[in-house]
Structure 1
Amino acid sequence: MLLDLLGVVYDGDTQIAGAASAIERLRRAGLPLRFVSNTTRAPRGAIIAQLAAMGIKVADEELLTPARAAVEWLRKHDRQPHLLVHPDLEVEFSGLEGGSGRAVIVGDAGEAFDHANLNRAFRELIAGADFVALAVNRTFKDTDGLLSLDTGAFVAALEFASGRSPVVLGKPSPDFFHSALTDLNCPAADAVMIGDDAESDVAGALGAGLGAALLVRTGKYRPGDETRFNPAPTALVDDVATATDWIISRAAA
């Protein structure tokens, strides 16, 4: 079982109704869980603490984020990062200053997505630095309840200007989903993804070979999202609680 966080389990600092009890039901049913989030504004410890404050206990190994994947990528390729990320996320990349080459790492930098920072990243890219995107989501549901530009818009600007295509580490990268499933020792065909993003969560999971992907009507979902991307969701459900009903009923069949 793979679950998105923002828009599925919580909005801002508020738990989505029934999320904690749904997660507990999945655990009681014996279904191993991984939380796969494209959130790149907060470090792992802050995400886990936020969930704990909502009554949802998540172990460190149960949370997979693009920042963790990026740290592993940088070490594997012996690169030091040029960061275009939210200031709160920079701590995740400490101790990686000694690589033999450079890589531009782009996440949801928020207000740091200004011309000066984007131009510095652009100049790194045209000088030969590797190009790594933590995610390429188009939008996210912001704290005011409205949609805001997400990382993908700024990644696209850098891609257009530099003529370079990024390595994408978060959803919808198949490697991201497969990494989560490897930790679960679960064949892709037996796995289910729950998300509010029809493109990155749902089509991404199905494109990676997962057996099912459920689109919830919470978070960033807007009517008609279920028809906008291929593959289409296995099912459209109201929220994570009804997704849990769907999963448990089929597991028991």
Structure 2
Amino acid sequence: MQTIKGLLFDIGGVLYVGDTMISGANDTIAILQKKYPMRFLTNTTRRTPIVMMEKLNRMGFSVKIDELFTALDATKSYVHSQNGTVHTLLTDEADVWFSELKSDVPDFVVVGDAHLNFSYERMNEAFRYLLNGAKLIAAAKNKYFKEEDGLLAMDAGGFITALEFASGVEAKIIGKPSKAFFHLAVASMGLKPEEVLMIGDDIISDIQGAKDAGLHTALVKTGKFQDADLHLGIDAEYILDDVTHLLDMLDEF
């Protein structure tokens, strides 16, 4: 494998699950930060980027806001680039991130993991905006994630698919597995895709997405990983029990 010069880490499921850190993850990141530039990528859309950064730092990681690439940030940047306005279907916390872009006649309907806000009334409201000509943005379209109790929980993907089916409007996906999302993070380190390794627990969004974007890949068997992921025809270059095993792997290069 070509020499790795930079690292991209998924967050939930790789560094922690729920509010519990993967044992040794903070020490592993601290060691690697002395050797590699890195960025932290997440499709988590329940919380704002600032809250995500604060959570990581409370756990003992050292992450700066410009090292954090979130689907919410990328979505907001995209809407700004289009001079657009939005209607949102998000958690109350994430909704604040888009407050200055809100409109009763939105150009875009932005959907993320709205958690308890995924009610029939809110879904139908979004559906009607789409029928009136708004475009659909999926901040992220993951199928599921692992909760603190160790069980899988539905993510935004199923709800977004329902809106697509009902309205006939195809969603533009902003976060992983979008190539543009990976390339933005890679470019921020001044590197090329083939010089960067993506570490994730999601075989579709993290591994397939990174492969399509030209990155190297390492799949960790934590978070939402399931044994069935190994039989989907998507081959990560490396498979690790958890993120701490990355140290030994990288020592080989």
Contact 2:87 2:103 in 1 (8 A): no
Shift of 1:101: 4.9
Find the aligned partners of 2:232 and 2:140 in 1 and give their Cα distance: 19
Matches within 5 A, 1:17-32: 17-29=23-35, 31-32=36-37
The answer to whether the aligner puts 1:141 opposite 2:146 as a matched pair is yes
What SS class does the counterpart of residue 2 from structure 1 fall into? Answer: strand
Aligned partner of 1:218 among 196, 203, 222: 222
Find the aligned partners of 1:174 and 1:99 in 2 and give their Cα distance: 31
Find the aligned partners of 1:69 and 1:161 in 2 and give their Cα distance: 26
Aligned partner of 1:70 among 75, 84, 93: 75
Aligned partner of 2:38 among 25, 33, 36: 33
Find the aligned partners of 1:91 and 1:23 in 2 and give their Cα distance: 31
Letter in 2 for 1:194: I
Aligned partner of 1:176 among 166, 178, 181: 181
What SS class does the counterpart of residue 159 from structure 2 fall into? Answer: helix
2:100 corresponds in structure 1 to 95
TM-score between both structures, scaled by the size of structure 2 = 0.94
Aligned partner of 1:56 among 47, 61, 69: 61
When the two structures are aligned, how many residues end up with a matched partner? 247
Contact 1:78 1:101 in 2 (8 A): no
Letter in 1 for 2:227: P
Letter in 2 for 1:20: N
Contact 1:216 1:243 in 2 (8 A): no
What SS class does the counterpart of residue 95 from structure 1 fall into? Answer: helix
1:158 corresponds in structure 2 to 163
What SS class does the counterpart of residue 94 from structure 1 fall into? Answer: helix
1:107 corresponds in structure 2 to 112
Identity %: 39
Aligned partner of 1:228 among 220, 226, 232: 232
Which one scores higher on RCO, CA 8 angstroms, separation ≥ 6? 2
Mark the CA change 1:191 to 1:15 in structure 2 (over 3 Å): closer, same or farther. Answer: same
Runs (4 or more) in structure 1 with deviation over 4 Å come to 98-101
Shift of 1:228: 1.4
- CA deviations 1:54-90 (Å, max 9, x no partner) are 1111000000001101111111111111000111111
Contact 1:199 1:229 in 2 (8 A): no
Shift of 1:243: 2.2
Contact 1:226 1:236 in 2 (8 A): no
- CA deviations 1:114-169 (Å, max 9, x no partner) are 11100100111111001100111111001221001111111110111111111100
Letter in 2 for 1:96: L
Find the aligned partners of 1:169 and 1:139 in 2 and give their Cα distance: 17
Letter in 2 for 1:233: A
Contact 1:134 1:170 in 2 (8 A): yes
2:4 corresponds in structure 1 to none
Find the aligned partners of 1:223 and 1:98 in 2 and give their Cα distance: 44
Alignment gaps of 5+ in structure 2: 1-6
2:3 corresponds in structure 1 to none
- CA deviations 1:216-240 (Å, max 9, x no partner) are 011011113122153x111111011
Mark the CA change 1:88 to 1:98 in structure 2 (over 3 Å): closer, same or farther. Answer: closer
1:242 corresponds in structure 2 to 245
What SS class does the counterpart of residue 128 from structure 1 fall into? Answer: coil
RMSD: 1.4
Find the aligned partners of 1:19 and 1:239 in 2 and give their Cα distance: 9
